Amino acid sequence: MDIVVCVKHVPDTTEAEIAIRDDGRGIKKGGLVFDISEADNYAVEEALLLKEEFDGAVAVLTVGPEGADETLRMCLAKGTDQAVRLTDEAFEGSDGYATARILSEAIRDMDYDLVLTGCQADDDGSAQVGVTLAEMLDIPHAALVVSTEVEDDDKMTVHRELEGGLHEVLEIELPVLLTIQTGINEPRYASIFGIRKAMRKKIEVLHLDDLDLAEEAVGEAGSKTSLVKLFIPEVTALATILEGSPEEVSSELATILKNEGVV
């Protein structure tokens, strides 16, 4: 089974102090640690598990700058076979639609039975690239997949997460695109030997000229949406700390809730 996994190199903002750029259209990334987007990490692991069971090869692709090689090499260290970085100044400002278009042109001529993406990226959380990519490749898709099972050479059964804790079970013909939900598996760590081996592997770099795309089809010109402004919400009210004995605190809390119309 030949599998393509699309990954994204994103800043880890979990415990970082975030500052908005002067133009208001992004965050200041200096000093931030970058890593693979969490859901993409699960997608890579799912691809490796399927490869181990059914043979074949796994290729990882990303749209990003040279720094994204760090994420690609970590995927190679875990056992993927090929890594491709799509890089060009014209790609700057691409939204989910334009990013999917870039990926689709790179994937279109590749041999694949399965395309995997994370369900959404950690930085923008748009959850658009995977499903849009499936449409552009003209293949079926399932989103928020939490379980996969290969029935035979041309069919898969997948469980996808719905609202309210419900699951939907689908039987889909290959080739297919799946957006992978976190928790579907337990991503492995790369071994020291794997990391050393990955450092010697070549990462293929493709630019706009290598794809069958016009410049106006990517970047902000080729995007359906645009980011106007980022801002950190203002603090409009502070927490009130109630002090005293349990009886005094509970009485005061009850009065506050009544005055606010809660009870």
* Residue 119 clears pLDDT 80, i.e. is over it: yes
- Across 255-259, average pLDDT: 90
* Residue 115 clears pLDDT 80, i.e. is over it: yes
- Across 181-207, average pLDDT: 96
If one counts the domains in the chain, the total is 1
Percent of the chain beyond pLDDT 70? Answer: 100
What gap in Å lies between CA 144 and CA 120, rounded to an integer? 9
Find, among 37, 49, 41, 44, the residue nearest to 8 by Cα: 37
Residue 225 maps to a domain: no
Residue 92 binned pLDDT confidence (cut-offs 50, 70, 90): very high
Residue 143 maps to a domain: yes
Amino acid letter, 206: L
- The separation between the first and the last C-alpha atoms of the chain, rounded to the nearest angstrom, is 59
Distance of CA 236 to CAs 81, 239, 259, Å? 51, 10, 19
Q: Tell me, what DSSP letter sits at residue 124?
A: T
Residue 14 binned pLDDT confidence (cut-offs 50, 70, 90): confident
Residue 173 maps to a domain: yes
Residue 249, number of CB atoms within 10 A of its CB: 13
Residue 234 maps to a domain: no
- Which structural domain, as residue segments, surrounds residue 65? 3-217
pLDDT score for 26:
87
What gap in Å lies between CA 170 and CA 233, rounded to an integer? 41
E strand or H helix at 96:
helix 96-107
Q: Report pLDDT digits (tens) over 65-75.
A: 999 999 999 99
Residue 258 maps to a domain: no
- CATH number of the domain residue 76 falls in: 3.40.50.620
Residue 231 binned pLDDT confidence (cut-offs 50, 70, 90): confident
Residue 190 maps to a domain: yes
Residue 32 maps to a domain: yes
pLDDT score for 236:
81
- Across 148-165, average pLDDT: 90
* Residue 56 clears pLDDT 80, i.e. is over it: yes
Percent of the chain beyond pLDDT 90? Answer: 78
pLDDT score for 27:
87
**Threshold 0.85, pTM exceeds:** yes
Residue 240 maps to a domain: no
CB crowding 121-145: b at 16 or more within 10 Å, else e: bbebeebbbbbbbbebbebbbbbbb
